[in-house]
Amino acid sequence: MRSTVEVRRQIPSVASIGILAIAFLYVPLMTVLVFSFNRSEDATVWGGFSTKWYSTVLHNSDLIRAAKFSLSLAVPSALLASLFAAGLAIGIGVVHSRRIVLLQMLVNAPLILPEIVTAVGTLALFSAVKIPLNFASLLAAHVALCIPFAFLPIRSRLRDLDPAIFEAAEDLGASSRRVMLRITAPLIIPAVFSAMLLTFIISMDDFLTSMFLSGPSTTTLPLYIFGLLKLGVSPEVNVISALLLVIPTVGLLLSVVWIRKRGK
Amino acid sequence: MKRKSPFGPSGVSYPALTMGLLLIGAPLLVVSLFSFLKRGSFGSGVVYKFTTDAYSSILIQTNLIGQHSLNTAYLSIIWRSIVLALSVTVICLLVGIPTAIWIALQKKSVQKILIILVTIPFWVNVLARTYAWMLLLADKGLLSQIGGPTLLYTNWATLIGLTYAFLPFMVLPVYAVAEKMDFRTLEAGFDLGASGWRVLFKVLLPTLKYGILSGIAVVFIPALGAYVQPSLLGGNKSMLIGSLINDQFGDSRNWPVGSALAVLLVLMTIFALGTFKFRGRFGRSATVPQDLGGVE
Minimal CA separation from B288 to chain A, in Å: 8
From chain A, the residues in CB contact with B98 under 8 A are 13-14, 17-18, 21
| Residue B45 contacts A where some CB pair is shorter than 8 Å | yes
B195 in a domain, yes or no?
Answer: yes
| Residue B113 contacts A where some CB pair is shorter than 8 Å | no
Measured distance CA(B163)–CA(B169) in Å, rounded: 10
Kindly compute the dihedral angle of the four CA atoms of residues B257, B259, B263, B269, in this order, to the nearest 10 degrees: 100
What pLDDT does B28 receive?
Answer: 96
Residue B246 banded pLDDT, cuts 50, 70, 90: very high
Query: B284 or B209, which is more confident?
Result: B209
Minimal CA separation from A141 to chain B, in Å: 7
Residue A67 has pLDDT above 90, yes or no: yes
Measured distance CA(B43)–CA(A143) in Å, rounded: 31
What pLDDT does A112 receive?
Answer: 86
Nearest CA in chain B to A245: B124
Q: Testing the interface with A: which of B4, B10, B14, B23 to mutate, by most A Cβ within 10 A?
A: B23
Closest C-alpha among B196, B76, B207, B216 to residue A13: B196
Residue B52 has pLDDT above 70, yes or no: yes
What pLDDT does B97 receive?
Answer: 94
Minimal CA separation from A56 to chain B, in Å: 18
From chain B, the residues in CB contact with A87 under 8 A are 12-16
Residue B291 has pLDDT above 70, yes or no: no
Which amino acid does the sequence have at A101? V
Rounded mean pLDDT of A105-115?
90
Nearest CA in chain A to B124: A245
Residue B290 has pLDDT above 60, yes or no: no
B247 in a domain, yes or no?
Answer: yes
Measured distance CA(B231)–CA(A211) in Å, rounded: 13
Minimal CA separation from A91 to chain B, in Å: 4
B265 in a domain, yes or no?
Answer: yes
Nearest CA in chain A to B104: A4
Could you tell me the CATH number of the domain that includes residue B138? 1.10.3720.10
Q: Which of B16, B45, B135 sits opposite A85 (nearest CB)?
A: B16
Rounded mean pLDDT of B273-281?
63
Kindly compute the dihedral angle of the four CA atoms of residues A147, A151, A152, A156, in this order, to the nearest 10 degrees: 180
Contact B259 A160 (CB under 8 A): no
What pLDDT does B49 receive?
Answer: 85
Contact A28 B23 (CB under 8 A): no
Minimal CA separation from B71 to chain A, in Å: 23
What pLDDT does B123 receive?
Answer: 84
Count of pairs with CB atoms under 8 A, one residue in A, one in B: 366
Burial class, B116, CB count within 10 angstroms (exposed 0-12 / middle 13-18 / buried 19+): middle
Tens-digit pLDDT profile for residues A147-205 = 999 998 899 889 889 989 998 998 998 999 999 999 999 999 989 998 999 899 999 99
Residue ranges and CATH numbers for the domains of chain A are: 2-35 (no CATH), 60-263 (1.10.3720.10)
Question: A218 and A138 in contact (C-beta within 8 Å)?
Answer: yes
Tens-digit pLDDT profile for residues A11-41 = 667 888 999 999 999 999 999 999 999 998 8
Residue A213 banded pLDDT, cuts 50, 70, 90: very high
What pLDDT does A18 receive?
Answer: 93
Count of domains for chain B: 1
Residue B70 has pLDDT above 50, yes or no: yes
What pLDDT does A8 receive?
Answer: 53
B33 in a domain, yes or no?
Answer: no
Measured distance CA(A79)–CA(B59) in Å, rounded: 45
Closest C-alpha among A45, A187, A255 to residue B7: A187
Contact A107 B19 (CB under 8 A): yes
B32 in a domain, yes or no?
Answer: no
Rounded mean pLDDT of A50-64?
91
Least confident of A152-166, A181-195, B35-49, B160-174: B35-49
Tens-digit pLDDT profile for residues A230-251 = 998 999 999 999 999 999 888 8
Domain ranges, residue B147: 80-287
What pLDDT does B280 receive?
Answer: 47
From chain A, the residues in CB contact with B292 under 8 A are 153, 194, 197-198, 252, 255-256, 259
| Residue B108 contacts A where some CB pair is shorter than 8 Å | no
Residue B258 has pLDDT above 60, yes or no: yes
Q: Which of B27, B224, B289 sits opposite A256 (nearest CB)?
A: B289
Question: B169 and B219 in contact (C-beta within 8 Å)?
Answer: yes
Minimal CA separation from A18 to chain B, in Å: 4
Measured distance CA(B46)–CA(B28) in Å, rounded: 16
Contact A264 B164 (CB under 8 A): no
What pLDDT does B57 receive?
Answer: 86
From chain B, the residues in CB contact with A27 under 8 A are 136
B61 in a domain, yes or no?
Answer: no
Contact A121 B134 (CB under 8 A): no
Minimal CA separation from A191 to chain B, in Å: 4
B42 in a domain, yes or no?
Answer: no
What pLDDT does A11 receive?
Answer: 61
Query: B291 or A227, which is more confident?
Result: A227
Which amino acid does the sequence have at B19? M
Q: Which of A22, A140, A153 sits opposite B292 (nearest CB)?
A: A153
Tens-digit pLDDT profile for residues B78-90 = 999 999 999 999 9
Measured distance CA(B32)–CA(B37) in Å, rounded: 9
Nearest CA in chain A to B260: A117
| Residue B295 contacts A where some CB pair is shorter than 8 Å | yes
Residue A134 banded pLDDT, cuts 50, 70, 90: very high
What pLDDT does B295 receive?
Answer: 32
Percent of chain A with pLDDT over 90: 64
Rounded mean pLDDT of B234-238?
77
